[in-house]
C-alpha cells in the first residue's frame, strides 16, 4: 500500500489519525498542495480528481477519499475497531461521521476557500476552477459556529460523538474543530462539554498533526 498525504491539509489528516489509531505503518508519499503538485500530470495519473488523501492498494486500486480509505482499513485490520462491529453500530457511527463531515469540515472549507487570498479561483478542490463567493465564506463561518454549538450539546449527553467509545466520528469532528482555527472560529469559554471532549481526544497518542 501507499498513502498519498499532505501534511498541511485537514482531509488527509483524517487518514493520518485513523492510521495512527490503528497502529498501522503504511508508506507515505507527500503531495505538496501549496505548490499545486496535485494538479501535475504525475499526480493526475494517480487521482484525476486532483485531491488527497489517496490510498493505493498493492493491486493498483486507488481509493480517493478519507471515508473509503478508512472503511477499507477498518474492514482489513479490525482492531481497534473505529467504524462499528454490527449493522446498527456501523450505521450510527456512519451517521455521526457524516454529520461531522457535512456540517463540520464542509463548513470550514466553505469559509476558508471562499475567502483566503491564496485560494482565489480555487473555491472547490478538484480539477475545475471555481471562483470564490464572499457570501458563501460568511455562510461557512455561521455554519461552523453552529456546528460547535451542536457538538457542545451532543457532548453534554454523550462521552464521544457516536456514543460511549472513540470512533472515526471523533476523528472527523476534532479535525473540523482544529480546521476552524484557520477561520478564527474557536470553542467558546462556556462550551465546557465540547472543551472536555476536545482535551480528551487531543491527549490521545493517535492525535497526530
Which positions touch its own copies (CB under 8 A)? Answer: 49, 57, 61, 63-65, 67-69, 71-72, 75-76, 86-88, 90-92, 94-95, 98-99, 124, 128, 130, 133, 135-136, 139, 142-143, 146
Residues sharing a CB contact under 8 Å with residue 163, sequence separation 6 or more, in sequence order:
92, 93
Cross-strand partners of 54:
4
In angstroms, give the least distance from the CB of 155 to its own copies. Answer: 15
C-alpha cell at 70: 478508512
Q: How far apart are CA 128 and CA 130, in angstroms?
A: 6
In angstroms, give the least distance from the CB of 119 to its own copies. Answer: 15
Nearer to its own copies, 159 or 207 (CB): 159
Whether residue 93 contacts residue 85, with contact meaning beta carbons closer than 8 Å, is answered with no
Nearer to its own copies, 65 or 170 (CB): 65
Nearer to its own copies, 163 or 200 (CB): 163
In angstroms, give the least distance from the CB of 204 to its own copies. Answer: 25
Residue 160 carries which DSSP code? B
In angstroms, give the least distance from the CB of 91 to its own copies. Answer: 4
C-alpha closest to that of 200 among 169, 162, 170: 170
In angstroms, give the least distance from the CB of 84 to its own copies. Answer: 9
Whether residue 104 contacts residue 96, with contact meaning beta carbons closer than 8 Å, is answered with no
Nearer to its own copies, 116 or 136 (CB): 136
Instruction: Report the sign of the C-alpha dihedral through residues 58, 80, 206, 201, in that order.
Output: positive
Whether residue 46 contacts residue 4, with contact meaning beta carbons closer than 8 Å, is answered with yes
Nearer to its own copies, 145 or 200 (CB): 145
Amino acid at each position: 500500500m501507499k498513502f498519498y498525504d499532505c501534511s498541511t491539509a485537514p482531509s488527509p489528516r483524517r487518514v493520518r489519525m485513523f492510521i495512527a489509531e490503528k497502529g498501522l505503518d503504511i508508506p507515505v508519499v507527500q503531495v505538496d498542495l501549496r505548490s499545486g503538485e496535485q494538479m501535475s500530470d504525475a499526480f493526475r495519473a494517480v487521482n484525476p480528481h486532483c485531491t488527497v488523501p489517496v490510498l493505493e492498494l498493492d493491486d493498483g486500486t486507488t481509493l480517493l477519499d478519507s471515508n473509503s480509505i478508512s472503511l477499507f482499513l477498518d474492514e482489513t485490520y479490525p482492531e481497534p475497531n473505529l467504524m462499528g462491529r454490527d449493522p446498527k453500530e456501523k450505521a450510527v457511527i456512519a451517521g455521526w461521521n457524516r454529520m461531522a463531515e457535512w456540517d463540520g469540515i464542509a463548513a470550514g472549507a466553505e469559509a476558508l476557500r471562499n475567502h483566503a487570498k491564496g485560494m482565489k479561483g480555487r473555491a472547490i478542490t478538484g480539477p475545475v476552477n471555481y471562483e470564490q463567493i464572499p457570501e458563501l465564506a460568511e455562510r461557512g463561518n455561521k455554519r461552523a459556529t453552529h456546528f460547535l454549538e451542536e457538538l457542545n450539546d451532543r457532548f453534554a449527553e454523550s462521552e464521544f460523538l457516536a456514543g460511549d467509545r472513540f470512533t472515526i466520528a471523533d476523528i472527523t469532528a476534532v479535525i473540523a474543530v482544529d480546521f476552524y482555527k484557520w477561520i478564527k472560529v474557536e470553542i467558546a469559554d462556556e462550551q465546557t462539554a465540547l472543551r472536555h471532549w476536545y482535551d480528551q481526544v487531543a491527549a490521545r497518542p493517535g492525535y497526530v498533526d
